[in-house]
Structure 1
Amino acid sequence: MIKPVSIQPTPAGPITIGPGAPLLLMAGPCVLESGDLAWEIAREMKAIAARLGVSYVFKASFDKANRTSLSSFRGPGAEKGLRILGRLRAEVGVPVVSDIHEPGQAELAADCLDILQIPAFLCRQTDLLMAAARTGKVVNVKKGQFVSPWDMEHAVNKLRGAGTEKILLTERGASFGYNNLVVDMRSLVVMRAFGYPVVFDATHSVQLPGGAGGSSGGQREFIPALARAAMAVGIDGLFLEVHPQPDKALCDGPNSLPLDQVEPLLKQLLAVRQAVSGVIDAA
């Protein structure tokens, strides 16, 4: 039985993710490039979500600590980035999720974020998981590219051991040889069986890590196909990196969905979700 997770308080009021609740959409640019861009995307995504009856959370990283190259753009950093996210949360009126990378960032981030996200590369970091759990915020753990879905139960147990049941698990593909990822849709079923809502990251799943030499490549043309498949299998939330001009994005452009393609894709996905909802809930 899936335990619904409540995200509260948020500027939009309490949000529930799980069976019977609206689809949760986490979407935004890979990294905070500028305040203007973040506000543009957040406002547009908020409007789309309202039209379609979807719960929306703005996502953007304040620091991409795992970039391929030393010279790659990382973002404004924790102090400035969290100030920007806090302002956006208040002014646009949307909840916000971002990554934390060190235990010491947990309390600082919890002051302005609604969801603390554990990056895939750090999903085994016990101290980081426990620090995030102790804030009382919802914690979204991305499954590592190197971790089997059944081994994510250890991450769940660490979070529960630190006193939280506010857990989300996100699938983002598994390493498949060099510079490639593959999505095993069984992962969604396996992780959902732990009793917590599951999210599918449709954009990082088409990433080609390090595939562009000094940066990661991607195959954004496969985002819709994988998202439809995941929705048919059964997910509670969808994670998308979106950008008005992905080819000009400072991070993860090759695997970002163009902003003007988000609403048409969501309409497809919601139709799939409606078609299979009775089957998924009964499973």
Structure 2
Amino acid sequence: MLETLATALPHFRNTNSGQFFLMAGPCVIEGEDMALRIAEQVRTICDRLQIPFIFKGSYRKANRSRLDSFTGIGDETALRILQKVGREIGVPTVTDIHESDEAALAAEYVDVLQIPAFLCRQTDLLVAAAQTGKVVNVKKGQFLSGESMRFAVDKVQQSGNPHVILTDRGNSFGYSDLVVDFRNLPTMRAFGVPVVMDVTHSLQQPNQSSGVTGGQPQLIETIAKAAIAVGADGLFIETHPTPATALSDGANMLQLDRLQTLLEKLTRVRDAVR
């Protein structure tokens, strides 16, 4: 599966290492210096551990609880930063889109277009993303089973694009919390596409009374280990030098200086289950 994905991603490093791949970066692009610094640090770690790396950063956050929540520094400004990260650091990049007319714009700057979980059933959005020819990463809706994501794969592939990734980010069971059902990973992998576990978003505690999403970052290692153990092809981890000062989703992000130790543990888990 990774070999097929690699054909669509320039600079996709170490694809024959037998390792999982990593999508990692800040929740949202806050500025050029920070994006470049995070990307460089993560790439250095991933090169050392032979983990293929895709830099993640949202150019705009559309799904916010409160009207006064931070949404971005400007669409084209953030997209140009993503493009610069890809060129200067030499890694593929991924960002999420929310409307059909955003697909072509974002595709000019990044290598992977991500469909947010709440929008994974939006046919026009999936088709527009597919028609760019970019890799399409579809996040499984919190309200869907793994089996249901077969139709998202069909929409992309039947639109002429074979390059699909599916990402799980937990399911909603009750109020203000998510639960990970690890059965979803092998179920979705059976569709013949790479499957990713979104470690940090699956630990969100959304819809808090304050209007600011909470999280359980102390469980990041637990969720990541379990995902690798059941055969996830990749992991999605949002990371930031100081999550407490991050402008979005700081409550569930991994502190950047803890990433290397986590990845070292996860490579040992991968070696044990291969």
Q: TM-score, normalised by structure 1?
A: 0.92
Aligned residues of 1:4 and 1:16 also touching (Cα < 8 A): no
- 2: CA distance, partners of 1:210 / 1:190: 28
1:134-159 deviation digits (Å, cap 9, x = unpaired): 11111000001111111101101111
1:127 partner letter: D
Which of 154, 172, 180 is residue 169 of structure 2 equivalent to? 172
Question: Contact conserved, 1:8 with 1:15, CA < 8 A, in 2?
Answer: no
Deviation at 1:199, TM superposition (A): 0.4
**Equivalent AA in structure 2 for residue 25 of structure 1:** L
CA distance in 2, matches of 1:2, 1:192: 12
Which residue pairs with 1:83 in the alignment? 80
Q: Which among 181, 195, 200 is matched to residue 203 of structure 1?
A: 200
Runs of 4+ in structure 1 off by over 6 angstroms are none
State how far apart, in whole Å, the 1-side matches of 2:51 and 2:155 are: 30
Matches within 5 A, 1:1-283: 4-10=4-10, 12=11, 16=15, 21-211=18-208, 213-277=210-274
Counterparts of 2:73 and 2:8, CA distance in 1: 27
**Higher deviation after alignment, 206-215 or 266-275:** 206-215
Q: Which runs of 5+ in 1 are unaligned?
A: 278-283
Partners of 2:125 and 2:142 lie apart in 1 by: 18
Identity of aligned residues (%): 53
The 1:208/1:129 distance shift into structure 2, 3 A limit, reads same
Q: Secondary structure at the match of 2:147?
A: coil
- The answer (yes or no) to whether the contact 2:142–2:170 under 8 Å persists in 1 is yes
CA drift of 1:212 comes to 5.6
Question: Aligned in 2, Cα 1:14/1:221: closer, same or farther, shift over 3 Å?
Answer: closer
Task: Give me the whole-angstrom Cα distance separating, in 2, the residues matched to 1:14 and 1:258.
Answer: 23
Q: Give CA-to-partner distance per residue, 1:43-77, whole Å, 9 cap, x none.
A: 10010001110111110100110011110001123
Q: 1:210 to 1:110 in 2, by over 3 A?
A: same
C-alpha contact (below 8 Å) 1:26/1:58 kept by paired residues:
yes
Paired residues, number: 274
Distance 1:248 1:131 in 2: 35
Deviation at 1:101, TM superposition (A): 0.8
Deviates more, 1:125-134 or 1:87-96: 87-96
Q: Report which stretch shifted further, 104-113 or 114-123.
A: 104-113
* 2:171 and 2:178 in contact (8 A); partners too: yes
Deviation at 1:246, TM superposition (A): 0.6
Q: CA offset at residue 22 of structure 1?
A: 3.2
Q: Is the 8 A contact 1:7 1:15 kept in 2?
A: no
Which consecutive residues of structure 2, in runs of 5 or more, have no partner in the other structure? none
Separation in 2, partners of 1:212, 1:195:
40
Distance 1:80 1:7 in 2: 28
Cα offset, 1:16, TM superposition: 4.7
Deviations 1:137-182 (A, max 9, x none): 1100000111111110110111111011101000100002010000
Looking at structure 1, the residues matched to 242 and 7 of structure 2 have their Cα atoms a distance apart, in angstroms, of 31
* Superposition TM-score, scaled by structure 2 size: 0.95
2:178/2:203 contact within 8 Å kept: yes
Structural RMSD (CA): 1.7
CA distance in 1, matches of 2:15, 2:266: 19
**Cα distance change of structure 1 residues 211 and 95 upon mapping to structure 2, 3 Å threshold:** same
SS of equivalent residue, structure 1 residue 251: coil
How far 1:92 moved relative to its partner?
A: 2.0
